Structure 1
Amino acid sequence: MKKVRLLATTLFYITRTAAIPYLLTALYCVICFVLGTVQYTEGGERFIIHYPFTQKRYLLGDSTEFYYIFEMIAFIGLYGVFFWLLGTVFDAFRQPRLFTEKNVGRLKLFYTLNFIVPLPFLIGHLWYSYEVSLLISLTFLHFVIGIFAYFMAAIFEQGLNLQAEQDLYI
């Protein structure tokens, strides 16, 4: 179990390290659009978000349509949330007691979001006929991740029940 905890700890810190820049980037994009510091080019067809307090390009957008901007910020933010929640799944394997209500809840939240969140984006892409094949692939991958998380949650729930029964006998 020491190897599992070591690997889980490493993956926990890697996923948290990945989540923070995603979340901060999404927040920064929202702030830039709200404050109006976004630069528009090519007759208003594209936009540029600069690094804070500089004129160096940070993000380039291909369209100024609301759906494109919303989707870009949502993708960045939701992948930040995805990595953060994946970190909580790895954190479950770092704990001395594996089968707890908290860990089951973490897994349930993780698989639920992997099943539900990609669907509105897929529907939006089908509606706008915009990069549909990419979204079908991403939706399928998140569905597979959700299935594995669902199986893990079922195993954790069974382990929690067996652990509770064992505690009653002792």
Structure 2
Amino acid sequence: MKEVRLVASCLFYLSRVIAIPYLATSAYCIISFLFPIGSLQLVDEGKKFVILYPFTNRRFLLGDDYAFYYIFEMIAFIGLYGLFFWLLGNIFTTFREKKLFTHQGVKRLRIFYLLNFIVPLPFLIGHIIFSYEVEILVTLAALHFVVGIFAYFMAVIFKQGLNLQTEQDLYI
């Protein structure tokens, strides 16, 4: 079990290292659009936008369209992938603990599989309505569905393990 804890610890820190820049980028995008002083530039006669690195004139993010749906989708994608990696780190936290089957572990897995089942659907519907890059989003939604299925199976196994562990504790 020591090897599992070591690998889970490494993956936990890796997922946090990935999640934090995603979450920071989405927060910076929100701030840039709410307070566009200096960090947001419109180009191509206001049809496209550029978000600059903080306190510089270097380009950070380039936007193809200055429409609300495009901006919302861009920020949501970045933020939700930050959330995805953060929640994935929470699952690795479960494997780092001394007691494997806990209520908190089952809860973490449940949140993770629900996120993977539910969140891709509105984006898929939005892409179908606005009909651009639908193939990419179908692939992403399918991949998240598969990840959600595996997380669901793990949650069921953890719940069963928790029940057995609770029964075992009652007999002792």
Q: Answer yes or no: same fold by TM over 0.5.
A: yes
Identity of aligned residues (%): 65
CA shift for structure 1 position 94: 0.2
Q: Distance in 2 between matches of 1:59 and 1:36?
A: 14
Aligned to 1:3: 3
Once residues 135 and 91 of structure 1 are traced to their aligned partners in structure 2, the CA distance between those partners, rounded to angstroms, is 29
Where 2:28 maps in the other structure, the secondary structure is: helix
Q: Does 1:35 align with 2:38?
A: no
What corresponds to 2:171 in structure 1?
Answer: 169
Amino acid at match of 2:74: M
Q: Give per-residue Cα distances to partners, 1:52-104, cap 9 Å, x unaligned.
A: 00000000000001000000000000000000000000110000001000000
Q: How far is the alpha carbon of 1:36 from its aligned partner? A: 1.6
1:129-159 deviation digits (Å, cap 9, x = unpaired):
0100000000000000000000000000000
Q: Distance in 1 between matches of 2:67 and 2:169?
A: 58
Q: Could you state the TM-score of these two structures normalised by the residue count of structure 2?
A: 0.98
Work out which of the residue numbers 138, 141, 154 in structure 2 matches 1:139.
141
Corresponding residue pairs, total: 170
Provide the C-alpha distance between the structure 1 equivalents of 2:5 and 2:105, rounded to a whole number of angstroms: 15
Structure 2 residue ranges without an equivalent (≥5): none
- How far apart, in 1, do the equivalents of 2:80 and 2:25 lie? 11
Deviation for aligned residue 1:45: 1.1
Structure 2 distance, partners of 1:64, 1:58, is 16
Distance (whole Å) between structure 1 residues aligned to residue 45 and residue 148 of structure 2:
42
SS at match of 2:97: coil
Match of 2:156 among 132, 154, 157: 154
**Residues 1:20 and 2:51 are matched in the alignment:** no
Distance 1:97 1:59 in 2: 43
